[in-house]
Amino acid sequence: MPRPNALDTRFRTALRRIADAGQLLTYGDPVDTHLEAAGIMKQLDGQGTLLFNAVKSYAVPVVGNLLCSKETCEAAFGLDYRELRACIDRALSAPCPPTVVTRSPAQEHVVTSGIDIARAFPVLHHTEADAGRFVTAGIVVTRDPETKVYNASYHRLQLIGPDRTAIKLDYGRHLRLAFERAKRRGESLPVAICIGADLALQFAAATMGSQMPEDADELAAAGGLAGQPIEVVRAVTQDLLVPAESEIIFEGRIRTDETVDEGPFGEFVGYLSPQDQVPVVEITALTHRDRPIYHAINGFGRETVMLRKYVLEASLMKVLRVAVPIVEDVEMTAGGLHRFHVVVSIRKAAPQHDGLERNAIAACFGALKDLDLVIVVDDDIDICDPSDVEYALATRMEASRDLMILPAARGHEYVRIGRNGIRAKLGIDATVPFEERHRFARCAFAPVAIDKAKLSRSRAAPAR
């Protein structure tokens, strides 16, 4: 029986909602997995979810740009962005452990011999400079060999053989910690790579940092986001529970005794990540549902950053509500890749609130390591409108006193202007003192009702 406020976050349900909202674009001609599909995804990035029904040499369709915009994210869940943030907050504060089932759509077809990923699925070659074909929307599920906590996280996988991939494991990530523990024990690390997973799991897997500590179970967090347990089933060849509603699952193990060259690959910051030595995943089973759909994400595409936008905003609001209660809202901006820049709205209600805008700046940098720019504005500024934010900078910020610079702080290592992740962070106070708000009040016009039927465009100049 469904729980109150429970959401159906299954992959195919999300696709139906997106289509019903008019946000699904279907590409008519057959496309090639080599550069063409990814190139079309990039050209149409942000315009809607993209479905390739016909892929050359494959019977499996490809979905790209799935969550590439505010509109597609809201349509996928059937929620507005504030409701979606509330669900993410629920994932962090009220996790719901999964339910084990015995039958799974993800295991309607099982292959354990003669495995050939490249032949079975339309894995894309994204940019000409990439080292090869990469699985980019795979959520890697594992169980830590020591803590026994389940982790789910995004990691790219480069195809290096019929049943082998290279896997990029960044330092500081929970999967990397589990891998290092398995290596100390002299064991391989069992994993399941889930493609076309439940959207609640996709968002839980995108959560990181202090809001998803190492002892937090991402499968339970996904249940918290959905408001009901997600269903899991025992893997066929590995000692793991895997999400039952995935389109495709690669079962395997990360070897701890072998590395290979991986990369380059076009990453979310728009640059190629360099070639590096990384571990190898041996694939022991391919399982999938009837007529599976392959999900692909361009590395340098809006979906990569949109996935984390609402997660990071919810995480930031959770911290700011406690630290600086006058904070009204936050907006992780598109130009900052929904990760590096944030605009914060505050409401000053008394002289004692002056200065708290600067506390908010400090709290933001403490909450999200990757933030490099925080702009704080008054609540009469629309933080979702870049022009209105720039208006606040133009009319309410005085550079000699309103800039806060935090030198040599830790950020993201992919930002090349920094030094291995070290760069200065900038806070901008574009608010006005409480006592001077009247001086900065903007002109108000009458809310006149306009009959748009009486408007027309004319090529003729007004008569004199």
Distance CA 77, CA 356 (A): 35
Is the pLDDT confidence value at 267 over 90? no
CATH architecture of 11-303: Roll (2.30)
Tens digit of pLDDT for each residue in 187-239?
Answer: 999 999 999 999 999 999 988 655 677 788 999 999 999 999 999 999 999 99
* Choice between 272 and 123, residue whose per-residue pLDDT is larger: 123
Hey, how many other C-beta atoms are within 10 angstroms of the C-beta on 38?
Answer: 28
Q: For residue 264, is the peptide bond before it cis, meaning its omega torsion is within 30 degrees of 0?
A: yes
* Choice between 199 and 458, residue whose per-residue pLDDT is larger: 199
Q: Is 400 exposed, middle or buried (0-12, 13-18, 19+ CB in 10 A)?
A: exposed
Distance CA 245, CA 218 (A): 15
Tens digit of pLDDT for each residue in 125-140?
Answer: 999 999 999 999 999 9
Q: Residue written as tokens 């820049």?
A: 341
Q: Residues 310, 342: contact at Cβ < 8 Å?
A: no
Distance CA 53, CA 60 (A): 8
Examine domains 11-303 and 324-434 and report if their fold is the same.
Answer: no
pLDDT of residue 215: 81
Q: List the domain boundaries for the chain.
A: 11-303, 324-434
What does the pLDDT average to over 163-181?
92
Tens digit of pLDDT for each residue in 392-446?
Answer: 999 999 999 999 999 999 988 878 888 988 999 999 999 999 999 999 999 999 9
pLDDT of residue 347: 97
Domain 324-434, CATH number (from 3.30.70.3270, 3.40.1670.10, 3.30.1490.20, 3.10.520.10): 3.40.1670.10
Q: Is 21 exposed, middle or buried (0-12, 13-18, 19+ CB in 10 A)?
A: middle
The full DSSP string for 342-395 is EEEEE---SGGGTTHHHHHHHHHHHH-TT--EEEEEETTS-TT-HHHHHHHHHH
pLDDT of residue 464: 66
Is the pLDDT confidence value at 1 over 50? no
pLDDT of residue 463: 65
Is the pTM higher than 0.85? yes
> Angle at which helices 199-206 and 81-93 pack, to 10 degrees?
70
Phi, psi of 357 (to 5 degrees): -60, -30
Could you tell me which of 129, 180, 124, 128 has the C-alpha nearest to residue 157? 124
What does DSSP assign to residue 198? -
Is the pLDDT confidence value at 8 over 90? yes
